[in-house]
Chain A
Amino acid sequence: MKNLSQKKNFLTLTNSALILFALLLQNCDTPKMKSATFIFSATIGTEPLVIGSKRYRTPNNEGEFAIENFKLYVSNIMFIDSSRNKFHKEKNSYHLVRFDAQKNTFEFTINSIPIDTFDEIKFSIGIDSVKNKSIDHIGDLDPNGQMAWNWNVGYKFLVLEGNYFTNEGSIVKPLVFHIGFSENYQPLSYDVAKSNLLRSDTIHFNIDIESMFTSPNIINFDSLSSITFNRKKAKLVAANFKEMIRLKK
């Protein structure tokens, strides 16, 4: 009995030592995993976006417009620590940023980021050419979703639908902007202050819908109120994507 008791104690001690050793090893070799929450706000100039019947001054003529639908893909998010030459690319990085009634913000959280500091964030508006014609369900890509054209053409990168009320008052023109095509995939880059990521950090961006129609290409709704499969016109709006999303400091 004494031998059995001694054996038991020895086993317990050995097991505990093994567990402690494993925990120590884990702490030494595995980098701490961090999270980052991206919050997108949408505005028209300085006015917050309200989906539905709220009217905004049109940027390039005398009139008003209202937005019923606004969505865009943000993809291939990367965190970069240039001083230490480290980076992390999010896997299956395809997020459909959408703004529904009564909410002018949209957010998502990226977990398991293995670098604890970064001074640059990169992502793109749209879908890269490899995945644009794929019918796999990766991230928020959905070939049966509202953003899918068909498997020959790929996805709409950005959708804006609404109504334009001309200065003459009674006439309403529909606004339909479906911007896609692989050549309009727009990489973006943001310098961020070097900061240690806490357990959950947040990064705010503002999407200014007005700049989608103003910079560098002027889009006047009197002459251009819809773009779908016209590649030349889609390029005009897509060129404005560069100025559309800004880091909120």
Chain B
Amino acid sequence: MLGVLSKMHICTIINNRYKKSNQAVSTNWRLSLFYMTRRCCIVAILCVCLQGCNKAPTPLENFKAPFYYGPFELPSDNLLNQESVILGRKLFYETKLSLNNKISCASCHQQAKAFTDGHAFAIGVSGNPIRKSSMSLNNLLWGPRHFFWDGRSATLEEQALIPIQNPEEMGLTLTDAIAKLKELDGYPLLFKDAFGSDEITAEKIAKALASFQRTLISQNSKYDKFLKGELKFSDEELLGKQLFSIHPDPEIGLRGGNCGDCHSQFLTSGFSTGFDGFKNNGLDSDEKLEEGLAAVTKNKADRGKFKVPSLRNIALTAPYMHDGRFKTLEEVLDHYDRQIQNSSSLDPLMKETSNNKKINQHKLGFYMTEKEKKAIIAFLKTLTDEEFITKKEFSDPNK
């Protein structure tokens, strides 16, 4: 698109040329207006012609998000547009972006499982298990602004290229990835539509993948409909929602599961500022503690801290935790209830939360009843979004 300065420059050129060929310039105002209008028409036509050669990106259609998710930011060099999302979606499902031509991003992030894969550890091109569980991709415009379980990527763009190159995952160098895409039908044109030129670069691959992933918004679960007043919860679901957000205080008889002190009330993810959304939730004692966030911050106090994930569609994303150690939601609740392991970086909230007044403080745990745990699970199941896991715009474009 021509900038304002360019248009002014062309107006000046036309003015000067016109003046040279017409020595007798009339001072009649109507005639002057006619000449000005004709000049503007010429400029406008030129602009349209030039724009046709360098098409502007198209804004996304039907992009919406609930107001209770809050505002979000986009990187200034990767604003959302339709062409970039189309390209990103195709790349997301592209198996040629792997050494063996069989693995795409979607192999470990399957739409039907809310973009997880149902395994504790995925198996990539190497045939060895990847030592972390595939994270669900949803609502990535919000929540912690660091990606991977240990938060080592500060942007989605940075994150997108890492699995492609990881010899355990897709095992392809960026040079080879670019070379393959150049030879495949359709990609040069898609890159041209999205970025203005058919040159394929790693940066553009990353931007397109990030753009597509940003559109994966889960916002139409039973919980969302409840929030919008479109339906009512059952008594059990209501109890579960209440327990989810209450920090128990046995002295005043207040019972709760305290999920809300780590999982936000609407997004259900970790918190977005700094590393607020990374916690040690008592999975291991000091001897077995993994590095976690400490690998990024180099602070020993961050050992064992991992990203608090979104609980949206949690009923579909088993197994659970960074290493997929819990197969069911019941096992997760049992962990918080009686199996919290103490360690030097265990979150104070994990130590303090309890429904039992008389509990010896060495015995950690929330001490909920079976009915309460069932109710929390019933609430968690309301976070399943059928529209999200079937939406055509998120699915494999080749099928």
Report A's interface with B, CB cutoff 8 A: 3-4, 7, 52-53, 68-69, 98, 100-101, 135, 137, 142-146, 148-151, 161-163, 171-176, 178, 225-226, 228-230
Contact = CB atoms under 8 A, between A and B. Distances in A.
A71 to B, nearest CB: 9
Contacts of B27: 3-4, 7
Interface stretch (B47-55, B96-104, B266-274, B325-333): B266-274
A3 B142 CA distance: 65
B247 A228 contact: yes
B265 A151 contact: yes
Contacts of A4: 25, 27
B114 to A, nearest CB: 19
Q: Which of B272, B297, B301, B352 has the most CB of A within 10 A?
A: B352
Contacts of A68: 301, 348
Given A52-B301, A135-B68, A143-B70, A229 B264 contact: no
Nearest to B252: A230
A148 B265 contact: yes
Contacts of A226: 352
Given A143-B68, A229-B252, 14 more contacts: A4-B25, A68-B301, A137-B71, A143-B70, A144-B143, A145-B272, A145-B273, A146-B271, A149-B260, A174-B348, A178-B247, A229-B246, A229-B249, A230-B254
B370 interface: no
Contacts of B361: 171, 173
B132 interface: no
B247 A144 contact: no
A230 B251 contact: yes
Contact of A137 (B70, B245, B260): B70
Contact of B276 (A101, A146, A162): A146
B351 interface: yes
B76 interface: no
29 contacts: A7-B27, A52-B301, A68-B301, A68-B348, A100-B274, A143-B264, A143-B266, A144-B68, A144-B70, A144-B265, A144-B266, A144-B272, A145-B271, A145-B276, A146-B276, A149-B260, A150-B260, A150-B265, A151-B265, A161-B347, A162-B348, A163-B348, A171-B361, A175-B348, A176-B349, A225-B352, A228-B247, A229-B254, A230-B251
A229 B253 CA distance: 11
Q: Which of A98, A142, A171, A174 has the most CB of B within 10 A?
A: A174
Nearest to B264: A144
B299 interface: yes
B69 interface: yes
Contacts of B269: 144
Q: Which 10 A-B residue pairs are closest in the complex by CB-CB distance?
A: A144-B264, A174-B348, A174-B351, A174-B352, A150-B245, A228-B247, A176-B352, A146-B271, A161-B348, A137-B70
